[in-house]
Amino acid sequence: MIRSFIDHMRDRKGYSPHTLRSYETDLRQFHRFLVSRERTVQRGSIAGGEMISADFHVIREYLGSLYGRCKRTTIARKLSAIRSFFLFLEKNGTIQGNPAAEVASPKLEKTIPTYLLVDEVFRLLESPAREKTLDVRNLAILEVLYSSGIRVGELVALNLSSMDFDERILRVIGKGNKERIVPIGKKALKAVKEYLQKTATMRRRLGYASENAPLFLNVRGGRLSARTVARITKRKALDRGLSPEVSPHSMRHSFATHLLDGGADLRSVQELLGHASLSTTQKYTHVSIDRLMEVYDRAHPRSK
């Protein structure tokens, strides 16, 4: 049943491969917990030849066993996987009621996203003579991340057809397999053009004339991975004397924060980031409000 559930979430719900892998791992871990406590019944099939039999209290017991070993965000994701799985079984008529429906999610800490100052971004994007193709590619990657605010998974999924140089837009496939249109800056477009010129010979050799060919390539000519982009970002940050915690997501956070600081409204930033809920975008306002308070305290004659 786990396999059927994962196939359903991929084909009907459009979940990303990363989320599907996490959900499958979470459910198999939950199954092992139940087996160790003899909480399974013989009919049906979930993992091998057994069906999960669990109630509200068993699920609470399982989640309680994770505290101290997992972050709260991880526990919340595991509960989400279990809740979605039992909902799938309920809708299929396999079980009556969802035993995870009333289990409360752990309270998550509110964190302000890590972001770079404008000067730090400029320092990161400064580049000496770019003779090597990899240097040209890496700069283009960072420029696109900061210019568009797209997720790293969305970046590595870009094809040649995703970028419209004339209209200065990207067509991005986001979460839930939803497409959105994102503007992109001139400096990022220039960096990508330079990269495409550098790789033109290799692309012809690999038969990448199709517009469905990957935009960013690894050293073997295949599609770049998200993990490689993370390494590229961290290495470049260290080279420029910045924090080793800088990641592709830091570029996304910086994009949102700098737009809000520049006067963009929250709803527009939500659309650009591809957030389904405005509350997800609102976390970026904390950074901007802190900045405004600093300016207010420093400048207003009655602030002290």
Q: Which of 72, 175, 223, 283 is catalytic?
A: 175
- Residue 130 among the catalytic residues: no
Under 8 Å between Cβ of 152 and 249:
yes
Report yes or no: 192 and 217 within 8 Å, Cβ to Cβ: no
Taking the CB of residue 208, how many other CB atoms lie within 10 A of it? 18
* Cα dist from 199 to 82, 84, 143, 196, 231, whole Å: 45, 44, 18, 5, 21
212 burial (CB, 10 Å; 0-12 / 13-18 / 19+) is exposed
Annotated active-site residue 286? The verdict is: no
> Which tokens in the block code for residue 261?
């600081």
* CA end-to-end span of the chain: 63
Question: What's the full length of the chain, in residues?
Answer: 304
Q: Angle 248-261/285-299 helices, nearest 10 degrees? A: 50
> Which of the residues 31, 83, 151, 236 is marked catalytic?
151
Placement of tokens 């669990």 in the chain: 54
252 catalytically annotated? yes
Active site residue 190: no
Catalytic residue among 77, 240, 249, 283: 249
Strands (E), the chain: 40-41, 51-52, 163-164, 169-173, 179-183
List 39, 252, 253, 258, catalytic entry: 252
Angle at 266 between CA 297 and CA 108, to 5 degrees: 80
253 annotated active-site: no
- Among the options 15, 23, 146, 284, which is catalytic? 284
Q: Say whether 175 is catalytic.
A: yes
Q: Which run of H or of E encompasses 285?
A: helix 285-299
Q: Which residues are catalytically annotated?
A: 151, 175, 249, 252, 275, 284
